[in-house]
Amino acid sequence: MRTAPCGFVSFGDDGTMLEVNDTLAAMLGYARVELLGWHVDRILPPGGRIFYHTYLFPLLKVQQSVEEIYVALRTKDGVDVSVLLNGVRREIEGRFVSDCVCLRMIQRHEYEAQLLAARRLAEESSAAKAKFLSMISHDLRTPLTAISGNAQLLAAGELGPLTSEQFESVREIRQAVEEQMMLINDILEFVRLDSGHIQVQPRAISVAEVRTRAESLVRVQIAEAGLRLTSHGCDDELRVLADPNRLQQILLNLLTNAVKFTPPGGEIAVACEQDGGRVRLHVRDSGIGIPSEHLQRIFWPFVQLDSAALPPARSGVGLGLAISRDLARAMGGDVTVSSTLGVGSTFTIDLPAAQELVDSR
C-alpha cells in the first residue's frame, strides 16, 4: 500500500489526514510524517479548498463514495498537480474515515485543457455570432422602415398623384421591403431562440382554431399558386398544450413551404390526430419531395436545399424550419418530416395533448 503506484490518503470527517502513503507524499514533495495529523487543506490550493468543503466532503458524507473527481493538489513547493480521485467513506470503531486514491493525470490533463479551450472558444464564437446577427439585423431594419414608410406615403398619394406605372413600381418596392423585413425578423427570432431568450406560454388551445387562422393567412397564396387545400380530423374538441401564437407561426411556416415546393395543380392537406397524450398535425403536400439524405439537414439553420433552382421570391435564408422545430421543442414537442421524391413531403408537428383531453379518453 505504501508504495502502490497511486496516491492514497485517508481522512476523518474533520478533514484530519490519518494515513498517507509514500507515493502521495512523494508526489507532493513531502515526507509522509509532514502530512499525518494535518488538515487536507494543507495539500489543496485555495480554490480546491472551496471545492473540498462545498462538494467533495458533502458528497462523501451523504453519498458515502465518489468516483472520478478531478482534483488539484498543491505540492510543498506550491505547484499544482492534477489527480483523479475515487473515495469511499466508512465507519471504523464509531469513527468515520474517507479513503481516497489519487491517480496522477498528465496527458489527460493536457487533453482536457484542449477540450476546455475549444469549448470556451465555441461559446465565445457563438455569443459573438449572436451579437453580430442581432446588430446587423437591427441595422438592416432601420433603413427598411424608412423605405417602407415613404413607399406607403407615395402609394397613398400623399406626395402627389402617381401614374399607373409608378403605382405598380411602388407596390413592388413595398412587397420587396415586406419580404426583406420577414427575412430579418426570421434572423432575429432565430438569434433569440438560439440564445434561449424566447419564451413560450403553453396553454390548452383548440387545434381547429389555430388551423383556421393559419389557413386564412395562406389562402390567397394557395389560390394564386393553383393549389388545393384540404383538411381532415382537426375537430373542434381536439385540444393541445401549446402557445397559440407560436403554434400558428409553425403551421404557417409549414404551409408556406408546402406552397413553395408544390407545382400548380397539386394538393396540400392538413390532418390532425390524437395518439394517447400526444396530438399530431400533419401538413402533407404533393410537391417535389426531399432526397432522404437531406431530411435532417433541412432543419439546420441557414440550410436551403436546391435554392438555386428556386425563383428568388421562393428562396429564403433557411431559418423557417430551424425556428419551427426549436419553437415546437420549447413547447415539449417536435417537428419531423417524411418525404418521397417526386411524390411529396409530410411535415408533422407533435405536441402534448391538453390534459383534459387525455383524462377524458
Partner 1 sequence: MTDALTRNNVHVSGSGTQPMLFAHGFGCDQTMWRFVTPAFERDYRIVLFDYVGSGKSDLSAYDAQRYATLDGYAQDVLEICEALDLHDVVFVGHSVSSMIGVLAANRAPERFSCLVMVGPSPRYINDEGYVGGFERADIEGLLDLMDRNFIGWANFLAPVIMKNDERPELAKELNDSFCSTDPKITRRFAETTFFADNRADLANVRVPSLIMQCSEDSIAPAEVGAYLHHSLPQSTLHLLKATGHCPHISHPEETIQAIKSYLAA
Residue ranges in contact with partner 1 by CB under 8 A: 13-15, 39, 41, 45-51, 53-55, 57-59, 61-72, 80, 82, 112, 115-116
- Residue of 263, 320, 319, 257 whose CA lies nearest to 287: 263
In the complex with partner 1, the residue whose CB is nearer, 72 or 303, is 72
Q: How far is the CB of 79 from partner 1 (least distance, A)?
A: 13
Q: How far apart are CA 85 and CA 78, in angstroms?
A: 20
Q: How far is the CB of 57 from partner 1 (least distance, A)?
A: 7
Radius of gyration of the chain (CA): 32
163, exposed or middle or buried, with CB in 10 Å at 0-12, 13-18, 19+? exposed
In the complex with partner 1, the residue whose CB is nearer, 55 or 300, is 55
Q: How far is the CB of 10 from partner 1 (least distance, A)?
A: 16
* Residue 305 near residue 298 (C-beta atoms within 8 A): yes
Residue 45: phi, psi to the nearest 5? -70, 165
Q: How far apart are CA 11 and CA 178, in angstroms?
A: 70
Q: How far is the CB of 216 from partner 1 (least distance, A)?
A: 33
In the complex with partner 1, the residue whose CB is nearer, 151 or 331, is 331
* Residue 87 near residue 72 (C-beta atoms within 8 A): no
Q: How far apart are CA 11 and CA 107, in angstroms?
A: 28
Q: How far is the CB of 115 from partner 1 (least distance, A)?
A: 6
In the complex with partner 1, the residue whose CB is nearer, 83 or 234, is 83
Q: How far is the CB of 148 from partner 1 (least distance, A)?
A: 32
In the complex with partner 1, the residue whose CB is nearer, 30 or 52, is 52
In the complex with partner 1, the residue whose CB is nearer, 15 or 352, is 15
Residue 90: CB atoms within 10 A of its CB come to 12
